[in-house]
Amino acid sequence: MNKILLIFLFIASAIVANAQCQNTVLYKASKTEYLNSKDVVENTVAEESTLQISPTQVVLQKNGNGADEVTGTVIGWNCQWTTSFKNGKTSFSSVLTKGNGEQRGADFTIEGVGGDLFITIAIEGMDQKIRIKADSYQIKK
C-alpha cells in the first residue's frame, strides 16, 4: 500500500512540475545583464522587460514599448522541471523578428535554481549573451 501511495505521489508531482511546460508564461524583469563569452557580467542595465513564452511562441518587449517588441516561433521545445518555477530548465531556439523585419536566430534557456528564475538569450551575431532574472511570472490561460 505504501508503494502505491509513493508511486501516486511521484506521478502527481511530475504532472504539477510539468504543468508550466504546457502553458504560456509571462515573465517580468527590471534589469538586464550582458554576459561575455565566459558568462561573466560585463554590463547591467536597469530596464523593464517582459517575456511571454509558450511552447509555440516567444514575445520580448523592453520598457513596455511595443516599438521594441521582438517575436519568434519556438523550435525544439525541451522542458524539464522537478519543481515548477523553482528547479528545472526549459530550452528552445527561435528565429526572432524585430518590428522592422530584421531576423536573427536565438537560443533561449529558462532555468530555475533555488527558486530564482533566469532567462538567458544567445542571439546570432552578438558577442554577448543577455541574462534576465525574472522578478515575477504569471501563467496565462
- The confidence score (pLDDT) of residue 13 equals 43
Residue 14, pLDDT > 50, answer no
Task: Identify the three-state secondary structure at position 134.
Answer: coil
The pTM assigned to this predicted structure is 0.84
CATH architecture of the domain 2-140 equals: Beta Barrel (2.40)
Q: Which pLDDT band holds residue 10 (cuts at 50, 70, 90)?
A: very low
Domain range annotation of the chain: 2-140
